[in-house]
Amino acid sequence: MAIEVRIPTILRTHTGGNKTVSGSGATLGALVDDIDSQHPGIKGRLVTDEGKLHRFVNVYVNDEDVRFTGALDTELKDGDSVTILPAVAGG
Amino acid sequence: MLRIDRASYDAIVAHARRDHPDEACGVVAGPEGSDRPERFIPMLNAARSPTFYEFDSADLLKLYREMDDRDEVPVVVYHSHTATEAYPSRTDISYASEPFAHYVLVSTREHGDQTGLVGDDVELRSFRIVDGVVTEEDVDVVESYLFGHSPTTVVYD
């Protein structure tokens, strides 16, 4: 099972500059663990110590923001595409 | 230094004024590697707030897909401050995640709407924000990017 993950500029230091990486997992959480095993450090940029997605980052499965589909528990299937984008926000 | 054309500069300022007293936000995209802001894209402030801005999550995905398809990057990421100076706030710094972007801030505290008075200059400043470190840079407004090119050599027989 291969899922393509689009990596934003700021996280490409973890992926050797690659814009996309490929991983596997039945849920988004499992996919993040798999990617982190290939690209150490990336999980810490996405997931808090409490095991939740960072407020600063948006993750989409296909076109859906995972905040509305179960966050890290969002189920994945072969061929899904995951996009990670930092929130553009401020005060 | 941020080099920006007059049309984009004016569009940013007009957007900031129009949305006052809420913060306005958007990007000016440009070809990857060019550092040239060309395509002005105003965004909705999903927070609709005088003290916070955030791109709507669906709009954000659409924007980045579109830039990807066109081989563009967000050369400028702009937003306004409506009651304070045009300098990145602590929140701005904590969210900043485009190390190659010019973060442009406009303050509308003195000029919510155009006063029409001579000297109604806008407070617009530009910064790099990398790893939590803010570095201000000069802003060079050019009438057109064309004039920055070397003239084509014309050879008459």
For residue B62, the enclosing domain spans 2-148
Burial class (CB in 10 A: 0-12, 13-18, 19+), A81: middle
For residue B31, what pLDDT band results from cuts at 50, 70 and 90? very high
Interface-testing mutation among B60, B66, B89, with chain A (most A C-beta atoms within 10 A): B60
Question: How many domains does chain B fold into?
Answer: 1
Question: Could you state, in order of their start, the residue ranges of all structural domains in chain A?
Answer: 3-86
CB B106 within 8 A of CB B121: no
Whether the per-residue pLDDT at B117 is higher than 60: the answer is no
B154 lies in some domain = no
* A58: nearest CB among B43, B57, B90: B57
Domain assignment of residue B11, yes or no: yes
Decide if B133 is inside a domain.
yes
| Domain spanning A3-86, CATH class | alpha beta
Contacts of B96 in chain A (CB under 8 A): 90
Region of B112 please: left (phi>0), alpha (psi -120 to 50) or beta: alpha
Cβ atoms B72, B30 nearer than 8 A: yes
| Ranges of residues in chain A whose predicted pLDDT is under 50 | none
Name the residue among B149, B97, B106 with its Cα closest to residue B128.
Answer: B97
Model pLDDT for residues B127-146, shown as the tens digit of each residue: 999 999 999 999 999 988 87
Q: Residue B110's pLDDT is what?
A: 82
Q: What is the ipTM of this complex?
A: 0.92
pLDDT at A52: 95
Which CATH number fits the domain that encloses residue B38? 3.40.140.10
* B126 pLDDT more than 90: yes
